[in-house]
Chains A and B, each alone.
Chain A
Amino acid sequence: MSTRLEIAPRIAPSGTTSPAARRPFPWFKYLAVAPLAVVFGGLVAYPVGLLVWMAFGRVRLVAGEFRWESVGLDNFARMLDDETFLISLKNSAVFITATVVLTLVLGIVLALATDGLVRGRQIAQNVVIWPAIVAPVVISVVWLLILSPQIGLLNRVLVSLGADPQAWLGDNLGAMASIIVVDVWHWTPIVFLFVYTALRGIDPSVLEAASVDGAGYLRKVRHVVLPLLAPAIAGAAAIRLIMGVKAFDEMYLLTFGGPGTATTVITIYLRSVFFDAFEYGYGAALSITVVGLVLGVLILSFVVRSLIRRTTRGY
């Protein structure tokens, strides 16, 4: 069909019609994006519409059908008194802050160290990314086998060294620290890759000039390398922030949000509202609020970044 359409302009009588009218309708252009539009319409736009609709109602599943009755803004008002929701926000904030900062620092250090290698860069890059591509579920298994009070590697080592075994995941602080460590182990490779790729892209002559000036290594890193890496680091930070909000698998499997609510982050709480309490309307309202918060933080950080850039431009 498209072949015929392409040839059409040549056999069309010339001179009588304007060039625009002679051009055939670009079927291919529209057909090519149609599947994307259909899939996004059916499985993104429609569910998002449902989500918004549910958020303003009390939704019950009666005999396999959803019954909706309007409650106005009640679902949103209820959030303010929902202690578990506020705790989950706090837990998410702690988790995200700790994991973003730690993965950034470790990722940058690893990238600088790999760059300092003469041989074995390829191997280093290969091994370092393993944690990032293994399933989060498997990562949870790996760490359960390390943190388990009965059979875990960590307690075995402690006992062998003559120390007392610890409860790790059974303790409030230990559980949060554990999931932070697991997340850092899991996702430092992402930051490493970002920074390392940017580092390899730096013009060597810039660094040579800094060396000729007699700058020591740490000063060179601080004043020349890090500023050049700033865009990559900012990108990695934004991605890690989003990943922190999305984090679910490890908490679900390692702590199930516990003990108590010690590691109930926002995604864990959303799941329980929807699938344990069957509060569909309230769950939808919570979801919309969380999405709003994420977008708000991202927009805010963009604004702050551009403000900083504007004020430091003269410097």
Chain B
Amino acid sequence: MATEQPTHGRTTGRWIAGVILGGAAVATIVPLVWMIMIAFQSPRAIIAPDWEFDFSLDNFAEIFDTDAVFGTQVVNSLVLVLAATALTLVISAFASYSLSQLHWSRRTVLVVLTLAGLLQVIPPMTLVPGLYVTLLNYDLVGTLGGLILLNTVFNLPFAVIMTKFYFDTIPGELRESASIDGAGELRVFRAVMLPLAAPGIAAVAIFTAIQVWNEFLFGLVFTAGGREAPITVGIAALIQPQEIKFGAMAAVGVVTAVPIVLLAVVANRQIVAGLTRGAVKG
């Protein structure tokens, strides 16, 4: 939408747009920078009433102390992200390929997509009572395995819907001609279809990884919060009403946020696709 205004109107418009976006940028960046500054403040300067910056790495030293659990929790979160993302991708790629290309009836596809959409709509908290008993029955409460499964299940609807739309753009003749050449279904899928859907799958992968890394609710209610908990739950443990450890809290916040912001800079396009496309069409 290029502005087609008389010259003076156009410059004023640009000024206003610039001011609005400048304000938004400041409002976005200042809170994040403040957290980073607190993380690198000495504990004394954090509580000092005046404006003072006293650079120190004490807060990071505290959270990665040998008997602190954060190191373990960061590893837990990494394992969780890798396992849940991999599972989500494998399950959704196979299922959405089948649904998109292998001649399911329209009604079946519609039912599956509706159910997937429904799971997106339902607040996970409402399913927690049922999930809790289910995990107890499977003996998975308090385990990383349980969290991997739950994160997979709740990221699958989006992954299936989004991947299916990518497979839908591939003409069906491609599969037929590959089959006639003698390639088996699995080979057609792996060698022909998967590469064609790669951009979509990459977007799903990055988006799912972020969701899993950020996940808090399941970690909170299905672990005891110690060495088997993800990092998000570790941060929550620092926010105790009696004594908030501001420095340590900010340091963990930085450790948790920085990888994601870096990812946003590197993989901006995939993230934008993840945040908009699947949801719009779904």
Give A contacts to B, CB under 8 Å: 1-7, 26-33, 35-36, 39-40, 42-44, 46-51, 54, 66, 109-110, 112-118, 122, 124-138, 140-146, 148, 150-151, 153, 156, 159-160, 185, 189-190, 193-194, 197, 199, 202, 204, 207-208, 211-212, 216-217, 225, 232, 235, 239, 242, 245-246, 248-249, 252-253, 256, 266-267, 270-271, 274-275, 280, 283-284, 287-288, 290-291, 294-295, 298
Bound complex: CA of A32 vs CA of B189, how far in Å?
10
Query: B224 at the A/B interface (Cβ < 8 Å)?
Result: no
B130 touches A47 (CB 8 A): yes
A50 touches B134 (CB 8 A): yes
Cβ–Cβ < 8 Å partners of B257 in chain A: 134-135, 138
Cβ–Cβ < 8 Å partners of A135 in chain B: 213-214, 216, 232, 256-257, 260
Known: A44-B153, A283-B129. A239 touches B279 (CB 8 A): yes
- Chain B, range 129-145, C-beta contacts under 8 Å to A: 129-134, 136, 138
User: 0/1 per residue, B175-204, Cβ < 8 Å to A?
Assistant: 000010011111101000000000000000
The 3 nearest A-B residue pairs measured at CB: A47-B130, A3-B184, A51-B130
Cβ–Cβ < 8 Å partners of B131 in chain A: 43, 47
B128 touches A3 (CB 8 A): no
Cβ–Cβ < 8 Å partners of A280 in chain B: 129, 133
A35, A43, A217, A242: the one contacting B90 at CB < 8 Å is: A35
* A202 shortest CB reach to chain B, Å: 6
Cβ–Cβ < 8 Å partners of B103 in chain A: 26, 29
- Total contacting residues, chain B, CB less than 8 A: 105
Known: A36-B160, A284-B129. A242 touches B150 (CB 8 A): no
B256 touches A137 (CB 8 A): yes
A197 touches B126 (CB 8 A): no
Bound complex: CA of A245 vs CA of B235, how far in Å?
23
* A42 shortest CB reach to chain B, Å: 8
Secondary structure of the A contact surface, majority rule: helix
* A135 shortest CB reach to chain B, Å: 4
**Residue in A114, A127, A294 with the greatest tally of chain B CB atoms within 10 Å:** A127
A144 touches B239 (CB 8 A): yes
Bound complex: CA of A291 vs CA of B123, how far in Å?
8
**A and B contact pairs by CB, cutoff 8 A, 20 listed:** A6-B179, A32-B98, A43-B150, A44-B119, A44-B153, A50-B133, A51-B127, A66-B133, A66-B136, A116-B13, A125-B272, A130-B264, A132-B275, A133-B210, A142-B31, A145-B34, A151-B47, A202-B1, A256-B241, A287-B130
Known: A35-B94, A116-B3, A126-B264. A270 touches B182 (CB 8 A): no
* B272 shortest CB reach to chain A, Å: 6
Secondary structure of the B contact surface, majority rule: helix
A284 touches B27 (CB 8 A): no
Query: B56 at the A/B interface (Cβ < 8 Å)?
Result: no
Nearest-neighbor residue (CB-CB) of A61 within chain B: B136
- Chain B, range 1-26, C-beta contacts under 8 Å to A: 1-5, 9, 13-14, 16-18, 20-21, 24-25
* B282 shortest CB reach to chain A, Å: 10
Bound complex: CA of A256 vs CA of B244, how far in Å?
14
Cβ–Cβ < 8 Å partners of B280 in chain A: 194, 197, 232, 235
Cβ–Cβ < 8 Å partners of A127 in chain B: 25, 28-29
A193 touches B94 (CB 8 A): no
Bound complex: CA of A14 vs CA of B217, how far in Å?
60
A130 touches B120 (CB 8 A): no
Nearest-neighbor residue (CB-CB) of A258 within chain B: B241
Bound complex: CA of A267 vs CA of B91, how far in Å?
29
A36, A129, A141: the one contacting B275 at CB < 8 Å is: A129
A208 touches B156 (CB 8 A): no
Bound complex: CA of A1 vs CA of B186, how far in Å?
9
Bound complex: CA of A298 vs CA of B117, how far in Å?
12
A26, A35, A202: the one contacting B91 at CB < 8 Å is: A35
Query: B249 at the A/B interface (Cβ < 8 Å)?
Result: yes
A291 touches B21 (CB 8 A): no
Cβ–Cβ < 8 Å partners of B244 in chain A: 144, 148
A253 touches B125 (CB 8 A): no
Bound complex: CA of A294 vs CA of B187, how far in Å?
43
* A284 shortest CB reach to chain B, Å: 5
B127 touches A48 (CB 8 A): yes
Cβ–Cβ < 8 Å partners of B263 in chain A: 133
